[in-house]
Structure 1
Amino acid sequence: MTRRPVADGRLGTTKRGAGRSLNPRDNGTPTLRRTRTTLPSEPITDERMSTTVTPVDLPDAFEPPQTPDIPPPASETPDAGSIRELLRVALPLIVSSGSLSLMHVVDRIMLTRLDVNALAAAMPAGMFHWTALGFPLGVAVYTNTFIAQYHGAGQKARVAASVWQGVWLALGFGIILLSSAPFLSRLFVTLGHSAEVTRLEIEYFSVLCWGSAPMLLAVTLSTFFSGRGQNRVVMYVDVAVSILNAVLAAIFIFGFGPIPQMGIRGAAAATVTANVVACIAFAWMIRRVNQAEQYPFREQRRFDGELIRRMLRFGLPNGIQMLVDIAGYLMLVLFIGKLGTVELAATNLAFNLNALAFIPMLGLGTAVLTLVGRRIGEKRQDLAEKSAWRALFLAVSYVSVFAMIYMVWPDVLLGPYATQEDPQMIAAMSPEELTAYHAEHPPFEEVRPVVIKLLYFVAMYSVFDALAVIFGNAIRGAGDTRFSLVYTFLCGWFLMVIPSMLAVRYVEQPLWACWWAVTANIAALGIGLGLRFRSGKWKNMTVIEQVPPAH
């Protein structure tokens, strides 16, 4: 896409050479400045001509159009493109993502203490819910890019319109997901898991579906802040919601006072309640912020078909990519579930520990997406590229620390998951009953050595994971969503899903083969998305409409 001579309302003329100045921060790129022409108050006589020019009063209709006041672009700040700016945007998002990661870890620890079957059921049921959410969630998340680019271009009305269109999409998708929950729940019966695990999967998934619309709304509303760089608001809400979820999970899972023990249904109910609270909190914060900054939310609440089409045009590939990505890992977990409860529980626990490194890194990736989108709106692709490379340095440094812990000190992470069986109950069982019980409820001592081996795979692919997250968000922040979709699909299904399916059927040690496939998939993603970023094709892309030049 070629760049037009005038990109936004800040440029007041398109006449060649009019008002040109060289700004050293623009690397010598000529910048058009608004110039004001003042008519003389006295007659002017041109000595070379015999005519006298007499000033005239122009009617109001001929007044030159005035550009609305917009704050100076962020690229003019001294730390634009620096690590300092990146951390200012990213740290709140990292804390936010880390709190959400901790929320899932706390849930899994509680479920482990409840029953190993509950732990085994929570991962596939949760991933199945994320798969159903993947498509609309990808569209909701991509609202961030529209807000970032419109904010960079100084268009407040389009920022407000983008938020509203995201809200309408979130409500529609949420209603569809809730209405389809009874039909989707039946699929768990076909997975081949044990009867107890299947029952728990259905319970967990059915309750989670009630929180689909609130989750989508909360994500959409949060993009108003993250897309504009006000990430502390997102951090405060997410941390508060994570604490609330932990408290509610403990109460709902194990019971407290008049509240009965709900088991795995309680964990899902706590998550749903937390999402509702997050949705209300973001809506209240938007209203409060808008009192000072005056975004035209009331005027822009109508359904905007043209903007919806563009949001779907760029958001659909992002949503489909998220759906394909989550579905691929869901298929992997389902294949491994056929190997046995120990293998399934170990895989779930390994991915859960991987989340400690991966999910906070998503906060850094969101910061890259936001900064790239903002710089695209400002026409400063050079700063966008600089931010991405510096984010990669931070991401690789961060995951390298966790990779060391995974390989050298895994028990530091596994300690909270350790559970002890009731000795009186075990002593009262006959050998046949004990064998049957352990088949359904394997002790943690059987799961632990398998998890330790799986963490070596996690350590191997962690750096490639960092490449995939940073470079993937960088190109999507500019609007390069189609390549990301196609490449993620090819890698996920041809390097992970299909090899894992064959490994479960034909390989002597299928669990290790499945995890080698996971490692190959993530390595290919990191390398491929990195090469796409290096190609620079994303620099000529944008998701917002071109602003017509002022005359």
Structure 2
Amino acid sequence: MFSNKKSEALLAKIREGAPLMGREKLRLIVELSIPSILAQITSVLMFYIDASMVGSLGTEASAAIGLVEPASWLFGSLTGAASMGFAVQVAHFIGANDFRQARRVMKHGYLFCFVFSLVLMAVACGVSGPLPRWLGGGSDIQHDASAYFFIFSLAAPFFMMENLSSAMLKSSGDMRRPSTIAVLACVLDVVFNFLLIFPSRTVSVLGMDVPLWGAGLRVEGAALGTSLAYVVTSLILVWFNVRRSPILAWHLDRERFVWQPAYVMKALKISAPMALQYVLMNGAQIVSTMIVAPLGNVAIAANSFAVTAESLCYMPGYGIGDAASTLVGQTFGAGRQDLCRSFAWLTIGLGMGVMAVMGVVMYVFAPEMIGFLTPVAAIRELGTRVLRIEAFAEPFFAASIVAFRVCLGAGDTLKPAVMNLASMWCVRLTLAYALSQHYGLVGVWVAMALELTFRGCIFLFRIARGRWYMKPQTEKAES
């Protein structure tokens, strides 16, 4: 059913100005969404398995990683923001049937983002030592938390190249290869972590005792395993982009590479609001962690595990959001306003429907989802309670996820970034602090559910007003 050739044929109809029937539009959304959703879910399962491995080491190890997790998200978000500034331009040029300029943008993206990743790595490594203390972590987890974040930071260039290469392929309409590589990253991560976290031991296989090597690095092994997985997969993705992509491969160009500042300036115009948003949004996550930290190690661990468990339910939203960015980006570049709006509403509606179902699943199976991650009864009980609170907000969370990606596809990032920030800082953190004083971690998650519902509503209002769509402005660089 999900034929890559059929998807390419439908995308070609967008570029050629041919009409699309409602069934064709829905088919295209589904065919672009499915690989990305599967990759997102596999990624979450990877985090599940990682968390369960670390969880088996005890509450302190889980709390150490949970403490610096928001800072790690900031790390990944900045690489994503830098990548999207170039990927959106690539989608616009491909929609306009200008493949040569799409390749030019990609080359500029690789050079700029690599340099940026080195700066990011230096800053992250520099703050890794005092970071756990700044976040309010106890002395019993500060060493492990610092070590985890330091190792994670060293892989910045590979995280960046993986993110950029994947974004470029998705902008061209190729969801399958980056999704397949994402699955490979998950498999490698599990294997590396299994070998690096635990010490050498004997395992029973079909009744036979088999000696198994292990490095016994515990929390440090978890960071090293994840980093090594991204090293391998980033190299594969870069190779495919540069050598094998039918649209983006560099050998398709004959002229010399000439630096064009206009591409970078436009990328910064798109990326800067996203980067600021990610910094302040993840800063808000860090503040949220600081609100949770005084509640104790059980609350820190339960909060971290509940976030991991919830991510299994909202990953389909991000998968559909990837399809929305590609389709809106290419229709925007092609100047097809009606089709662009149609894809926007179809993807948002599909995202809300899928995540409503996932919210029901999360509510029903919350005990099992948390129980898989930790054997500690107190953490299980608290994690289950907060996860069930969040289940009610999933449809509106989907609206905010997909609508933001719709805006991104059209190059509209400033106002959506302000909307995200206002919602997080003015609604979530204010409520979280007030409710945590009386209801502990449960109060923090009630605040989260209310804020996500509010955020979804304001994004639906923005899409309905239509201000996110502007006339295509694909600059023609000098030949």
TM-score (norm 1): 0.77
- Corresponding position: 1:540 with 2:476: no
Name the CA distance, whole Å, in 2 between partners of 1:297 and 1:261. Answer: 49
Corresponding residue for 2:58?
115
- Corresponding position: 1:289 with 2:231: no
- Contact 1:461–1:522 (CA under 8 A) maintained in structure 2: yes
Q: Give runs of aligned pairs for residues 70-149 of structure 1, distance below 5 A.
A: 73=15, 75-76=17-18, 78-79=20-21, 82-149=25-92
Corresponding residue for 2:410?
478
Name the CA distance, whole Å, in 2 between partners of 1:362 and 1:103. Answer: 16
Name the CA distance, whole Å, in 2 between partners of 1:345 and 1:292. Answer: 45
Q: Give runs of aligned pairs for residues 423-438 of structure 1, distance below 5 A.
A: none
Q: Highest Rg: 1 or 2?
A: 1
Q: Give runs of aligned pairs for residues 204-215 of structure 1, distance below 5 A.
A: 204-215=148-159
- Contact 2:78–2:278 (CA under 8 A) maintained in structure 1: yes
Name the CA distance, whole Å, in 1 between partners of 2:413 and 2:246. Answer: 35
Q: Compared with structure 1, are the counterparts of its residues 279 and 397 closer, same or farther at alpha carbon in structure 2 (3 Å cutoff)?
A: same
Corresponding residue for 1:453?
385
Following TM superposition, by how much is the alpha carbon of 1:194 offset from its aligned partner in structure 2, in angstroms? 1.9
Name the CA distance, whole Å, in 2 between partners of 1:75 and 1:84. Answer: 18
Query: What fraction of aligned residue pairs are identical, expressed as a percent?
Result: 21
2:102 is matched with which residue: 136, 156, 159? 159
1:414 is matched with which residue: 358, 370, 385? 370
- Secondary structure of the 2:172 match is coil
Name the CA distance, whole Å, in 2 between partners of 1:298 and 1:521. Answer: 52
Corresponding residue for 2:208?
none
- Secondary structure of the 2:229 match is helix
Following TM superposition, by how much is the alpha carbon of 1:252 offset from its aligned partner in structure 2, in angstroms? 0.8
Deviations 1:225-255, CA, capped at 9 Å, x for gaps: 1001011111111111111111111111114
- Contact 1:175–1:213 (CA under 8 A) maintained in structure 2: yes
Name the CA distance, whole Å, in 1 between partners of 2:160 and 2:352. Answer: 30
- Corresponding position: 1:379 with 2:335: yes
Name the CA distance, whole Å, in 2 between partners of 1:451 and 1:195. Answer: 24
Deviations 1:262-293, CA, capped at 9 Å, x for gaps: 11111111111111112111122124424787
Name the CA distance, whole Å, in 2 between partners of 1:72 and 1:520. Answer: 39
- Paired residue type of 1:456: R
Following TM superposition, by how much is the alpha carbon of 1:546 offset from its aligned partner in structure 2, in angstroms? 6.4
- Contact 1:131–1:326 (CA under 8 A) maintained in structure 2: yes
- Contact 2:331–2:337 (CA under 8 A) maintained in structure 1: yes
- Corresponding position: 1:368 with 2:324: yes
Following TM superposition, by how much is the alpha carbon of 1:542 offset from its aligned partner in structure 2, in angstroms? 3.6
Deviations 1:98-117, CA, capped at 9 Å, x for gaps: 22212111111111112222
* Structure 1 unmatched ranges of 5 or more: 1-69, 420-443
TM-score (norm 2): 0.89
Corresponding residue for 1:514?
444
Following TM superposition, by how much is the alpha carbon of 1:325 offset from its aligned partner in structure 2, in angstroms? 1.9
- Paired residue type of 2:411: G
- Contact 1:134–1:320 (CA under 8 A) maintained in structure 2: no
Corresponding residue for 2:458?
528
- Corresponding position: 1:232 with 2:183: no
Name the CA distance, whole Å, in 2 between partners of 1:503 and 1:291. Answer: 54
Name the CA distance, whole Å, in 2 between partners of 1:98 and 1:143. Answer: 26
- Corresponding position: 1:270 with 2:225: yes
Corresponding residue for 2:259?
303
Q: Compared with structure 1, are the counterparts of its residues 117 and 301 closer, same or farther at alpha carbon in structure 2 (3 Å cutoff)?
A: farther
Following TM superposition, by how much is the alpha carbon of 1:358 offset from its aligned partner in structure 2, in angstroms? 1.4
Corresponding residue for 2:426?
494
Deviations 1:491-536, CA, capped at 9 Å, x for gaps: 11111223334445xx322323322221222112111111111111
Corresponding residue for 1:12?
none
Name the CA distance, whole Å, in 2 between partners of 1:487 and 1:75. Answer: 33
2:353 is matched with which residue: 397, 408, 412? 397
Following TM superposition, by how much is the alpha carbon of 1:124 offset from its aligned partner in structure 2, in angstroms? 2.7
Q: Compared with structure 1, are the counterparts of its residues 79 and 264 closer, same or farther at alpha carbon in structure 2 (3 Å cutoff)?
A: farther
Name the CA distance, whole Å, in 1 between partners of 2:14 and 2:400. Answer: 33
- Paired residue type of 1:162: V
Computed over aligned residues only, the root mean square deviation of the Cα atoms, in angstroms, reads 2.3
- Paired residue type of 1:519: A
* Number of aligned positions between the proteins: 453
Higher helix share: 2
Corresponding residue for 1:5?
none
- Paired residue type of 1:199: H
Name the CA distance, whole Å, in 1 between partners of 2:302 and 2:291. Answer: 14
- Contact 1:132–1:323 (CA under 8 A) maintained in structure 2: no
- Paired residue type of 1:532: R
* Structure 2 unmatched ranges of 5 or more: 1-11, 201-211
- Paired residue type of 1:310: K
2:196 is matched with which residue: 252, 259, 262? 252
Q: Give runs of aligned pairs for residues 157-196 of structure 1, distance below 5 A.
A: 157-185=100-128, 186-196=130-140
Name the CA distance, whole Å, in 2 between partners of 1:84 and 1:514. Answer: 40
- Secondary structure of the 1:114 match is coil
Deviations 1:333-380, CA, capped at 9 Å, x for gaps: 221011111111111111111100112321110110110010011111
- Secondary structure of the 2:475 match is coil
- Contact 1:152–1:378 (CA under 8 A) maintained in structure 2: yes
- Contact 1:135–1:319 (CA under 8 A) maintained in structure 2: yes
Name the CA distance, whole Å, in 1 between partners of 2:254 and 2:156. Answer: 26
